[in-house]
Amino acid sequence: MTQDFAQIRFTLEHGVGVITLNRPERLNSFTAVMQEELQRALDTLEACATLRGVVITGAGRGFCSGQDLSERQPLPEGQKRDLSEGLKKYYRPLVLRLRALPVPVVCVVNGVAAGAGASLALACDVIYAVESARFIQAFSKIGLLPDAGGTWFLPRLVGAARAMGTALFAEPVSARQAESWGLIWRCVPDDALQDTLAEVVYKLAQGPTRSYAAIKQALYASAGNTLAQQIDLEAELQRDLGYTQDYQEGMRAFAEKRLPDFQGR
């Protein structure tokens, strides 16, 4: 299935949704139109009973350079803009909906990810990035702070010192550095971009979907749980997974020394 949009490309095939930010002439910077189209794509994904995964990437040489500041028309003299409005209307629901999807959300960063574009990438469950990609917390350059969840994601992923340095000084972090810091899962050669996208889509379409969902739920819950609470959650989720068809198939495949044929059920 393909839906027509003006500023994103969206397909949903074999249970895997692929969203491509598609304003390459503006490094895929966010506009109100793009945000509304992303919400409509998420509506479709949330309504898909057979959803198995989501992939987000960008068109052209950049992933996303953040908010398109040219959309903000000058205000009459003496008036000041309330920057919280866009965060509450667009970025908050976008980030929270991505995190709440009961399937893996994989970001393939094909170029620069700056400002809210970096936050979008960090909101995903797994991040691949090509070697030429850069992550830039550019907010302090215009007198702001990282938003769209940036101040929540950064210290949890890379620790307080690195989070503070990248946020204060807005220095670019290379994909290789991001990998060594634990900011992303894997850095890949630029010429492997399309192969990486295809591999990710295949893994999501063929994987044990219920297992993936439980892993995502448990790992995110761990930040707020005691050890005892986390073990209790593991027991609850493991019990449910033990009843799935994919678990039965996984056990048969193990005994028969073959690859499992997971159906996501």
Give Cα separations from 18 to 47, 57, 71, 196, 205 (angstroms). Answer: 15, 8, 26, 13, 12
How far apart are the C-alpha atoms of 173 and 125, rounded to whole Å? Answer: 19
Quick one: pLDDT at residue 227?
97
The answer to whether residues 201 and 112 belong to one domain is: yes
Three-class SS state of 147: coil
- Confirm whether 261 is domain-assigned: no
Check residue 4 and give its pLDDT.
83
Are both 219 and 251 inside the same structural domain? yes
> Which tokens belong to 247?
């678990």
Instruction: Indicate whether 99 belongs to any domain.
Output: yes
Q: Is residue 186 part of a domain?
A: yes
Residue 221 sits in the same domain as residue 193: no
- Residue 77 resides in a domain: yes
CATH number at residue 85: 3.90.226.10
Structural domain contains residue 31 = yes
Does the residue 30 lie in any domain?
yes
Q: Does 238 lie in the same domain as 161? A: no
Question: Does 239 lie in the same domain as 124?
Answer: no
> What's residue 213's pLDDT?
96
Q: What share of the chain is helix, strand, coil (3-state, %, to 5)?
A: 50, 15, 30
pTM of the model: 0.94
Handedness of CA 251, 256, 260, 265 (dihedral sign): negative
User: So what's the pLDDT on residue 67?
Assistant: 94
Does residue 55 lie in a domain region? yes
**Whole-number pLDDT of residue 160:** 97
- What are the tens digits of pLDDT across the range 135-182? 999 999 999 999 999 999 999 999 999 999 999 999 999 999 999 999
Output the pLDDT for position 51.
Answer: 97
What is the model's pLDDT at position 58? 98
CA distance 264 to 96: 24
The CA distance from 200 to 44, in Å, is: 20
Q: Are residues 37 and 70 in the same domain?
A: yes
Last residue of a domain, one of 206, 226, 245: 206
User: Using CA atoms, how far apart are residues 82 and 117, in angstroms rounded to an integer?
Assistant: 20
Same domain, 21 and 100: yes
Q: Are residues 220 and 117 in the same domain?
A: no
Whether residue 221 sits in one domain with residue 189 = no
User: Do 50 and 133 fall into the same domain?
Assistant: yes
- Do both 16 and 140 map to the same domain? yes
Q: Residue 219: inside a domain, yes or no?
A: yes
How many domains are there within the chain? 2
The pLDDT value recorded for residue 164 is: 97
pLDDT at 74: 75
The answer on 176 and 57 residing in a single domain is yes
164, 181, 206: which is the final residue of a domain?
206
For residue 234, what are the domain limits? 209-256
The residue ranges of the chain whose pLDDT is under 70 are: none
115 dihedral zone (left: phi>0; alpha: psi -120 to 50; beta): left
